[in-house]
Structure 1
C-alpha cells in the first residue's frame, strides 16, 4: 500500500464497511481492558497458542496482559506489536511500547492520523478467532462544548468485538498493507479463521467477560463508597466546625450583654454617686462598641464564606491602597503616643487579590499592631519584591506573642491574653479574615514575635508578571 493510501486507512472504518457489522458501543478504557483480560483468561485456560496483532493504549497495564499470556502458555506465542512509525512523522507521539520479548516482532505502520486514534487486538488460532477494536473520536471544539455545557471532558471510546472471520480478515489485510519495510518479518499463516466459534468456547468467554465486568463494578463501587465516606467525613467535620463556631459566637455575644445588663442594674441604684454613674455609663458604651465589633466581624466572615470562592482576582497596586489606610490611622496612633510610618515604593509591581481584599488585609494588620503597642512604641509598614511575590510587612514594638500562641492567633475569637489588654480589645476575628483572603488570593503570611519585643507580620501576595494582560 502506498503512503497516500495508508494515510487514509482506518481499521475502524474497514470493520464498519462489512455487511451488518457489530454495532459500536461507547465504553471506557477500563471496560476495554476487561474485554482484553477476559479473552486472555480464555486463551490461558484452554492453552490456546494464538497469533496476536495488537495496538494498545500507552501504559504498562496493557502490556502486562500480553506478558501474562506469554508466560502462562507453554507453547510458543506470536505477538505482533503494531506501532505508528514515529521517525517518518518527525515527532514523538507517546505511542511506543517497551518490551524486550517483543522487540523482534514490532510492526511499524505508516504515519496515519486515523490509525493514531485506534486500538485493536486480533486473536488468530484454529480454535478461536476474535477482534476487539476501539476508536477514540476527535474532541469537540471548545465552542461546541461551551454551547452544550454538559459535554464530558474525556470522550468515551467507540468499540466493537466480533468472532466473525469475514470482519476480521479485511481488517488484518489492511494492517499488513499499512506496514513499513522496516517491520519485523511476518510468520506465514497456514490456517483460516473458523466461520463460527465453538459454542463451548463462546460460553466460557461470556462467563469470563461477566466475571471481569463484575470486578470492574466491584472496584467502581468500592471507589464510590470510599468517595462517599470521604464526603460524609468532610460534611461531618464541617458541621462540627459550624456548631463549634456558632457556640463560640454565642458565647462571645453573651459576654458584652452580661456586662451591659450589670451596668444597667447598677445605674438604678438610688445611692449611686456621679463618678460611679459615669464609670457604668462608660462600661455600657465600651460593651456596646464591643458588641458592634463582634457583629461586624461575624458579618464579614459570613460574607467571605459565601462569596469569596467565586470572587475574581484583580490587579491591585499597594501604593494605591496602603498610604490612604496609614493616613486614616495616624490620628489613632498619635492619640496613643505611637510613631506610625510606612515605606511603599510606587514602582512595585501589582499583586493579585480579590476586590477590596487588600484593603481589609492592611486594615486588620495595622489595627492589631496599633492596638497591642503601648504608648511610646512604633509601628512600621513596608513593602518590597521577593521573588514571585510582593511582601507587605507590618511590624510593631508591642507586647509580642509567645511562640506557643502563634499558631492560635488565626483561630476565630482568639485574643492574645495580656495585662496590657482587656476583654474589650476586640472580637478576635481580624486575622481569621486575613487568612481566608490570602487563601483565595494564593498568598500566605509569616509571623515572627517575641513577648515584650514586638511582632512582625509578613504577607506574601503573588505579583502580576504582565501588566498588559490584566
Structure 2
C-alpha cells in the first residue's frame, strides 16, 4: 500500500470527496448519540437485518445501542468494530469496558484494525455505516485535535468539550466510496470478510428514509426536553440558593438590629432616669456608668460589624502567606499581659522557635490569636490560668489556647461560631462583647485551609485547638474546615 495514502486515510474526507458532498455541521456528542439511537430504533422497529461498520467514541453508552440492536434482531447481523492501532492501551481499555458492561449480553462483533499514525485523521473520526438490501446510511463525525500542550485532557473529556463536525448521508455513492476506502485500508483481513459486506445497494426505500428522519426528530426532541428539564432544575436550584441567601441576609439584619437596639434601650432608660428631679447622687452615678457601659458596647458592636464586613470583602482577593507562630504569639501575649495581671490571671505561652511557618490569610494569624486569647481571658475569673501552646501534629501545626474559665455547655458549643452568639453564664454576663470574635476566627480559617475544634466543660474551662497547614503541606483545602 502507498504509505502516503495510508497516512491520509480518512472516512470524513472520503465522504467529502464526491461531486455533491453532504453538508457538514457541528454537533455535540449528545446529539451524535441521538442520531445513532435513531438509526438503531429504525433497524429494530422494522426488523432490518443489516451489516454494520462502526468506530464510535469511548464509553459504554455507545456499545449499549449496538447491543440493543443485536439482542432484538431475529437473525444474526454482521457487525465490524473498527479501531486504530495507535494508543493500543486505550483500545484495550474500551474493549474491557465493553466486556464488563455486557457480561450477560456481550456484543458479538468482528474487531478490525485500522492502521494509522499518531494524530492522523482516522484517529479523530467516528462513524456508523448501515448496509441492508432496502436501507443504507452513514454517519461520520470528525473531531479536530487542539494542539495545546498546556491543557492535558482525557480523551473522554475532550470529546465532551469540543464539537464534532458531522456528515449524514443515505447516498449510495457516498457510502460506496467509504466502503472502497475501508477495503483498501484493511487488505490484510479481506480473506475473512464477505465481499458483500463492502457493497452498498443502489438506493434505500423512501418510506424507510422518512421514518429515519422522524426517528431523528423524536430523538432530538428527547434531547431538547432533557436540556430544558436540566435548565429548569438548575434555575430552581439557583432560585433556592438566592432565597436562602436572602433569608440568611434577613436573619442577619434582624440580629444586627436587635443587637443595636438593646444598648439603645438601656441608654434611653438611663437618660430618662437621670432627668428625674428626685434622683440621688449614688443613683446618678450608677446611671452614668450604665450610659458609659452601653455606649462602649454600642461602639464595640459597630466596630466588630465593620471588621466582619471588611473581612468578608477582602478575603476573596487575599492571598495566603507563610507566617511563623513564634513571630506572632509572643507579641500578642505581651499585649494582653497587663489585662491578665489586673484580673489575677496567670498567662503563659510555649511556642518553639523551630516550628515551620504556616499558611494563613495575610494578617489573619494575628487576628486568630488575638480573638482566641481575648475570649479566654474574658471568660476566666480572677485567679484563673490561660495557656497558649503550639506544637507539631502530623502534617499540621497545632495551636492550643486553654483556660480554666467558666466553660461552655455541650449544647452551646455548636452555636459559639454563630454571629452575635454569646455564652451567658456567670462572669460572662458582665461582658459586653459583640459575639463576633469566634465568627471572624472561623471565616479566616475557612480561607486558609485550617480548622478549629473546641472541647469544654462547665466550671472546668475550655480548650480551643486550631490546625494550620505548614509550608511543606501541599494538601491545603481552603474553605473546608472541620468545625
Same fold (TM over 0.5): yes
1:105 is matched with which residue?
A: 110
Within the candidate set 213, 218, 231, 1:224 is matched to 231
Q: Per-residue deviation at 1:466?
A: 7.4
Q: 1:316 to 1:207 in 2, by over 3 A?
A: same
Q: 1:380 to 1:52 in 2, by over 3 A?
A: same
SS at match of 1:236: helix
1:366-377 correspondence runs (5 A): 366-377=373-384
* Distance in 2 separating the partners of 1:381 and 1:307: 28
Q: Unpaired runs of 5+ in structure 2?
A: 152-158, 475-483
2:348 is matched with which residue?
A: 341
Q: Per-residue deviation at 1:409?
A: 0.8
Q: 1:34 to 1:387 in 2, by over 3 A?
A: same
* Distance in 1 separating the partners of 2:91 and 2:355: 44
* Aligned Cα root-mean-square deviation (Å): 2.6
Deviation digits for residues 321-353 of structure 1 (CA, Å, limit 9, x no counterpart) = 222222211111111111112222232222222
Q: Per-residue deviation at 1:373?
A: 0.8
Is the 2:326–2:353 Cα contact (8 Å) retained in structure 1? yes
Is the 1:339–1:376 Cα contact (8 Å) retained in structure 2? yes
Bigger mean CA deviation after superposition, 380-389 or 406-415 = 380-389
* Distance in 1 separating the partners of 2:19 and 2:324: 69
Q: Per-residue deviation at 1:370?
A: 0.9
Within the candidate set 248, 268, 278, 2:255 is matched to 248
Is the 2:417–2:439 Cα contact (8 Å) retained in structure 1? yes
Q: How many residues align?
A: 458
1:34 aligned onto 2:41: no
- Report the TM-score, using the length of structure 2 for normalisation: 0.88
Is the 2:323–2:359 Cα contact (8 Å) retained in structure 1? yes
* Distance in 2 separating the partners of 1:311 and 1:139: 35
1:15 is matched with which residue?
A: 15
Q: Per-residue deviation at 1:255?
A: 0.5
Deviation digits for residues 226-278 of structure 1 (CA, Å, limit 9, x no counterpart) = 11111111111111111111111100000011111122222233443433333
1:463 aligned onto 2:470: yes
Is the 2:381–2:405 Cα contact (8 Å) retained in structure 1? yes
* Distance in 1 separating the partners of 2:371 and 2:203: 80
Q: Per-residue deviation at 1:303?
A: 2.3
* Distance in 2 separating the partners of 1:187 and 1:273: 117
Q: 1:93 to 1:126 in 2, by over 3 A?
A: closer
1:274-353 correspondence runs (5 A): 274-353=281-360
Deviation digits for residues 76-95 of structure 1 (CA, Å, limit 9, x no counterpart) = 11111112225xx5754676
- Report the TM-score, using the length of structure 1 for normalisation: 0.90
1:71 aligned onto 2:71: yes
1:202 aligned onto 2:209: yes
Bigger mean CA deviation after superposition, 104-113 or 125-134 = 104-113
1:187 aligned onto 2:197: no
* Distance in 2 separating the partners of 1:338 and 1:433: 25
